[in-house]
Amino acid sequence: MVRYFIYLGYDGTAYHGWQVQPNGMSVQEVLQKALSVLMRRPVEVVGAGRTDAGVHARLMVAHVDFDAPVDIFRMVDKLNRLLPPDIAVYRMRRVTNEAHARFDATYRRYQYHITTNKDPFHRHYAWRVFQSLDFEAMNRAASVLFEYTDFTSFSKLHTDVKTNNCRIMQAGWEQVGEDEWVFTIQADRFLRNMVRAVVGTLVEVGRGKLTLDGFRRVIEAKDRCSAGTSVPAHALFLVDVGYPDLLFYL
């Protein structure tokens, strides 16, 4: 067995998320089918995590096992010829046989895009808000996230995880255009629907409907009903996943 990490990106618009679903096309399923065609046998891949339906990935990582070493440059080229236009493989790297795309990841980084004006070229990849937002207040609230580890209030209900603890490494809003803002958040792990729930609650702060102390109370309540509404999926991107160097062959 020889294990490789596959680095890929995808536009999630047409997919029911990353993970194989019983009643909808997923990115994982499409990638596995392409690999199975090339290898002439069933092939399974394991991703660094799940992305929900409609969420995009500038960078997702998955691991795959082959019976023997492969020419990674030819494999990447062949995969991209088989894959649809909305999925692209960037590169492959050989890793130790024990390396795991999900469990060995040291961080994941997401970005959420907001636009305050109508723009036909943003409609699929940014959420348009109609009210003016106080992004300074939203950044003050975002800094509160560093004070906590239990984010039950931002988790989808009835998930199968053993803990709702996450370590936030980065969280903040940045203006990237005249009418466009990006929220970047990085953590060792994320709960189901967590980023969209965090953004939705921060927007409540930006609209003046929630104070800084109120934002703290939302987190401390450990109750999803206390947090804001989840924002739309189409403006969310997984942008990076990190791993220890010791997993990789030179």
Instruction: Tell which residue, 47, 41, 43, has the closest CA to residue 15.
Output: 47
What's the CA gap between 98 and 121, in Å, rounded? 43
Instruction: Answer yes or no: are the C-beta atoms of 3 and 46 closer than 8 Å.
Output: no
- CA angle 99–101–224, rounded 5-degree value: 135
What are residue 172's DSSP bridge partners? 184
- Would you put residue 58 in left (φ > 0), alpha (ψ -120 to 50) or beta? alpha
107 CA to centre of own chain? 11
Cβ–Cβ under 8 Å, residues 153 and 226: yes
Residue type for position 237: F
Name the residues annotated as catalytic.
Answer: 52
